[in-house]
Structure 1
Amino acid sequence: MLARQATGVLFGAAVVAVALALLTDLVPPRPAGGVLLGCLALGLWRRQRGDRDRARGFARLLQSPSFARSLAQAGSDAALVLDGTLRISWAAPGLSAATPVDVPLTGSRLADVVHPDDAAGVLAWLTGPSDVPGPTGVHTFRLPVPGVGWRVLEAAATDLRADAEVRALVLHCRDVGARLDRERELSSLAFTDPLTGLPNRAAQQRSLAQLLDRPAGADPSGEVALLVIEVLGLREAGEQAGRDVVDVAVAEVARRLRATVRTEDQVARLSAEAFGVLAHGTGDEPDRLAARCLAVIEAPIGTDAGLVDLTAVVGVVALPPGLTGRQASDRADLAVLDARAAGPGSVRRYRPELTAARDRRDQLRRDLVGARERGELTLVWQPIVSLTDHQVAGVEALLRWRHPVHGEVQPEEFLPVAERAGLVVELQRWLLAEATAGVQQLPQHGPAPLRLGVNVSAAHLAAGTLVADVTTALAASGLSPERLVVEVPEAALDGPHVIDDVTALRLMGVHLALDDFGSGRSALPRLGRLPVDVIKLDRALLAAVDRDAYTRVVCESVVGLGASLGIDVVAEGVETTSQLAVLEGVGCGFAQGFLLSRPVPLGALTELLDAGAGRLWPGLVGRAV
């Protein structure tokens, strides 16, 4: 130690002396210079020797088992060392406790102490294919913890069996139990509906995918069907009693459905008003289950705000192997739509015809774009006849579409498609322009010019452009506003700002007709408050007017009320002489229908009017187009 310190002092003095000589330009005597150089050389030699001794000591320390063990114990991850027979030769302190069956880890084969369900996987991972030098990737297994249970470890392997100084397989293990718990908790939140505790849409889609991936005949419980239940009445309950009552009702519906299905059936909440059931059973068992689900939903639900009455519709889809999840969901949606069209309390199974009809609607929606420019849209005209003298008092312009593939497409089919596609306003704007120009070409045989009736949808009224569109059409055609009758459905008059537009049209002189009266929730007391000049009785109401006394009384009441209010009544869809006789008997003023004339092109209507001097009688039906 003293020799090392003396050497250090001499080395330091020599360095100082050399530095002073350089700074002062002094040239030391030859003996003194030799001494300085010797001191410098001695110091450098001692420095190199010290570094070499420290390196040798650290290398010996690295080769020390106790040092390696200390490093392993100080690490954040646990470690296992396996010998050539895959027995545990050393385990980190956190893993070396006795197992619940008092079998020590050290000396045991790893496959014998892991969880029984993990043993085969661990053994396969450690042995691996013959062409692979050692375990690859990361593997997860469970090790026992006395009094606690099982510890989940994720391990990566380092194969040192070829190293002569080690000859072992080292597993670097990380405890992932907490992470897996968090993942399970997040998964539970992601796949569970918080209100009902049922699986949500994502969970059922996952279960559906697993079912559809099964091989044919793999399910011992029989066939599986998807039931989609759309609950009706929740919105009305929310408007009347509030959101809390709706939550109580939904939770009760979920409980009833869960109690109705089998144990192996999965009930899930798909949306605010829809539930899904993966039901096992053969034949018509899914249909019977659907009927039971309807029954429990329609039973009154007691809440703090009173009873809640609900109903539902159910779509049923069989799930044969090979069907995809997207196809199953698509078929279920079509079945629900079919059930909804059939009315509350209906159950409908998917049929291939539903897909064909949907595909046809999709094609019509695509082809409707540009149909006017391609010349596929035309107008036909149906006369409106006065029942007092059978004089033609007006005509209704109707839109027709001749599709290049499907032929003649009726308005009842393509107008709803146009409305959903946002094209109906454009079509009706074109209809207004063409009809107001075309009616000017018709001959006048009666005392007054013919009136023109044009249908306008609720979407056109809601768009807020109707007044401008009518004004433009009248200005371009020169038609007098008093000759135009705008026909609107009753429900459309309830929209915002609609009354202002209707009032503006009437101030212009345009007449307003209430179309399809009697087809839905039409009410006689409203007639006195509605700004209309004409009521058009719907064909659905007239279908039984000659056979049903109640229907006849309703028609007679409407005619009488119209006469009192100064409102003309037009019966549309008259097809039989008996219907016409009843309408004449109750004093109905006007009629139109196939009995008098089918819708015909403008030229054919001109010939028809000229042939009868402006009069039409039953049986003189125009050519169908």
Structure 2
Amino acid sequence: MSYSLSFVILLIFFLTAIYIGYRLVTRFFKLSFENVILNQKLENINKFLEQRVKERTLELENSLKLVTFQATHDLLTNLPNQRLLVKYMSSAIKLAEQNQSAFMIIFLHINEIDKINDGLGHAIGDLVIKIIAQRFQDKFHPMPYESTNYIVTLSRKDVFVILVDSIKDAENIEQYVKPIFSIFEEPIDAEKQLIKLTVSLGISLYPKDGKKVNVLLMNADAAMWHARQHGGNHYNVYRNEINADTSKQLELASGLHSALLNTEFMLHYQPFVSLETGEICGAEALVRWQHPVFGMIAPDKFIPLAEANGIILPLGEWVLRTACHQLQAWHGLGFHSLKIAVNLSARQLLQKNIIQTVTGILAESHLSPEFLELELTESEAFKRDIIPILKQLKTLGISLSIDDFGTGYSGLSNLKLITIDKLKIDKSFVQDITANEQSRIIIANTISMARKLNITVTAEGIETLEQALFLKEHHCHLLQGYYFSRPISAEAFGELLKNHAHLQLTSSS
């Protein structure tokens, strides 16, 4: 009995031990398995996190590269900007000091870019800049170009700055600018419009024209502005006299306000002559500045300065008022059909009170609107914000004239946007009449087109009898130029009216 009980107890103990062992072993293996699974998950999470860290690091690196690129490059063309140019120039200066060598800085301005922006829109202007930038990259990359490094940057929106390194002959500038001019030989095809471009280059040389970055840039910029005065494809190398000219420009700009107060401005008048009758039928009012130090200054020297500092607004009002009063005086002398033409800029027309100003001047001078003609350049006349103002002026009975017709990029189709009374053929075409067949064709077609549209045509810049006879042959309406008379004072113009009211086409005119 005791043995049986002991056996039972032992069996129970043994089974309990087996059960507990089983549970422990099962638990152990279960925990081991779970641990393996957990470790696998942790490993996967670590791998995922490591991958994300790598991706984020790469994203940050790419973002940093993008931000750095955007900070040092022009976003329209992807060319280096002025910040990177300064870095390039600093390196070039150090290298030139070590090697006792030279380099040049070239400022390049596209002469037609303002007309393109105004006539065709800024989108076309931007496209032109992009095309030129691509031409530069195609021409000078990979470097060097014929053993010379050309580093092209875009300093301002429409001014390219070029660092020309490895210069072997600093005296022979022509060899270094010739490849640049060649880029502009072919017209630009911008949205199905062929545009011929010309450029003005300003050049400064290291170390002759400066040993610091800012000095070299300033001198090349000044040389470029002087090159622009020549027009066409022209380059100008910096010289000390340019700084003197710049000082004079600053003095003129600062003296404009006092000149207006001190009545230093005056009007000269150049006649319009009818080809049909030979009669002086009108005059263009042209402002001059009798400077107390520099003497008589032509408008092309100070009008851009007046536009820049805002003096053009009171000056333009003075010109209009003076011209209208003078015309009324000539009407009082018996020249009742005489008209007066006055130039207006877009900035003047965009004044809020321009209509009130014009009507007020006409009222105080007792001049009928039909005798007033307002001239605008082709690039300005067809601006969207200008056209409504011109239409208001037309309703008053004032005549509108397009000056320098044929030199802009607005297109003939814009003539339908507003009724124009007169077109003035630019003198650049007139002066080429005897030598250039294309100029003769352009003039003949312009006159024919204008006549069909019932628009009066004036040819300006007439200097020879041959030019006048060609224009008469093609039925031009009016002529203006030195062949008949230079711009002269009001007193001299009054005498011209009294003594030579009719001017004939003769070699003695």
TM-score using structure 1 length = 0.57
Q: 1:253 aligns with which of 137, 159, 176?
A: 137
SS in 2 for 1:431: helix
Q: Residues of 1 paired with 2:137 and 2:399: CA distance? A: 50
AA in 1 matched with 2:102: E
- State yes or no: 1:350 paired with 2:238: yes
Structure 1 position 502, deviation (Å): 1.0
Instruction: State the partner residue of 1:497.
Output: 385
| Residues 583-592 or 402-411, more deviating | 583-592
Structure 1 position 447, deviation (Å): 7.8
AA in 2 matched with 1:220: N
Q: Residues of 1 paired with 2:377 and 2:102: CA distance? A: 47
Structure 1 position 281, deviation (Å): 2.9
Q: Residues of 2 paired with 1:448 and 1:263: CA distance? A: 71
Instruction: State the partner residue of 1:563.
Output: 451
Q: Residues of 1 paired with 2:277 and 2:199: CA distance? A: 51
Q: Residues of 2 paired with 1:452 and 1:282: CA distance? A: 58
Aligned partners of 1:545 and 1:551 also within 8 Å = yes
AA in 1 matched with 2:425: L
Instruction: State the partner residue of 1:223.
Output: 102
AA in 1 matched with 2:219: R
Structure 1 position 485, deviation (Å): 0.8
Instruction: State the partner residue of 1:537.
Output: 425
Q: Residues of 2 paired with 1:259 and 1:435: CA distance? A: 59
Q: Which runs of 5+ in 1 are unaligned?
A: 1-184, 301-308
- State yes or no: 1:316 paired with 2:203: yes
SS in 2 for 1:226: strand
AA in 1 matched with 2:165: A
Deviation per residue, 1:314-369 (Å, 9 max, x gap): 54321127634322110122344456667787655333444343333222211112
Identity rate of aligned residues, in percent?
26
Q: Residues of 2 paired with 1:417 and 1:332: CA distance? A: 20
Aligned partners of 2:136 and 2:152 also within 8 Å = no
Taking the TM superposition and a 5 Å limit, the aligned residue runs for 1:368-379 are 368-379=256-267
Q: 1:365 aligns with which of 231, 250, 253?
A: 253
Instruction: State the partner residue of 2:394.
Output: 506
SS in 2 for 1:574: coil
- State yes or no: 1:462 paired with 2:350: yes
TM-score using structure 2 length = 0.69
Q: Structure 1's 254 and 336: CA in aligned 2 closer, same or farther, altered over 3 A?
A: farther
Q: Structure 1's 580 and 281: CA in aligned 2 closer, same or farther, altered over 3 A?
A: closer
Aligned partners of 2:303 and 2:312 also within 8 Å = yes
Q: Structure 1's 261 and 407: CA in aligned 2 closer, same or farther, altered over 3 A?
A: same
SS in 2 for 1:323: coil
Structure 1 position 483, deviation (Å): 0.9
AA in 2 matched with 1:452: I
AA in 2 matched with 1:279: D
Q: Structure 1's 325 and 504: CA in aligned 2 closer, same or farther, altered over 3 A?
A: same
Instruction: State the partner residue of 1:205.
Output: 86
Q: Residues of 2 paired with 1:603 and 1:393: CA distance? A: 17
SS in 1 for 2:290: strand
Larger radius of gyration: 1
Larger fraction in helix: 2
AA in 2 matched with 1:222: S
Aligned length: 427
Q: Residues of 2 paired with 1:415 and 1:276: CA distance? A: 30
Q: Structure 1's 260 and 594: CA in aligned 2 closer, same or farther, altered over 3 A?
A: same
Deviation per residue, 1:529-565 (Å, 9 max, x gap): 5421112222222112244444333323333333332
SS in 1 for 2:350: helix
Aligned partners of 1:545 and 1:579 also within 8 Å = yes
SS in 1 for 2:259: coil
Q: Residues of 1 paired with 2:271 and 2:93: CA distance? A: 58
Q: Residues of 1 paired with 2:338 and 2:125: CA distance? A: 53
Q: Residues of 2 paired with 1:265 and 1:213: CA distance? A: 16
Q: Which runs of 5+ in 2 are unaligned?
A: 1-63, 188-195
Deviation per residue, 1:177-228 (Å, 9 max, x gap): xxxxxxxx99x959983689998644553564577689xx953352333345
Q: Residues of 1 paired with 2:148 and 2:379: CA distance? A: 46
Instruction: State the partner residue of 2:463.
Output: 575
Q: Residues of 2 paired with 1:343 and 1:604: CA distance? A: 33
Q: Residues of 2 paired with 1:405 and 1:448: CA distance? A: 39
Q: Residues of 1 paired with 2:486 and 2:110: CA distance? A: 42
Q: Structure 1's 239 and 388: CA in aligned 2 closer, same or farther, altered over 3 A?
A: closer
Structure 1 position 379, deviation (Å): 1.1
Q: Structure 1's 298 and 260: CA in aligned 2 closer, same or farther, altered over 3 A?
A: farther
